[in-house]
Amino acid sequence: MNADLELDCRGMICPRPVIELARHVEDVPPGGVVAVVADDAAAAYDVPAWCRMRGHEYVGSDHAEDGVARYLVRRTAPPGR
């Protein structure tokens, strides 16, 4: 899946990948996709949980070209918009 923004979080440990996601999710328009590339195993749980808590859509995961996990998040519109 193509992403509008890809965050390279390799080498970052929990909770840094989710912090980076929170900092940059609004860099894409509603409906846009942010990819978080992270080699920390906790990201597989943290990214979907963050999406549930913040109301964004967790699209799923795939892999970057080097085989590192890539977590895909679709930004939702703020409530009422």
Contacts of 32 (CB under 8 A, 6+ apart): 4, 5, 74, 75
For residue 74, the surrounding DSSP H or E stretch is strand 69-74
H runs (alpha helix) in 5-74: 16-24, 43-54
- For the chain, the average pLDDT equals 95
pLDDT recorded at residue 80: 47
- Please choose, from the candidates 58, 16, 11, the residue with its C-alpha nearest in 3D space to the C-alpha of residue 34: 58
pTM score, whole prediction: 0.93
Selecting among 5, 14, 19, 42, the annotated active-site residue is 14
pLDDT recorded at residue 77: 80
Active site residue 9: no
Kindly list the structural domains of the chain, giving each domain's residue range(s) and its CATH number in brackets, ordered by start: 5-74 (3.30.110.40)
User: What average pLDDT does this structure show over 21-39?
Assistant: 97
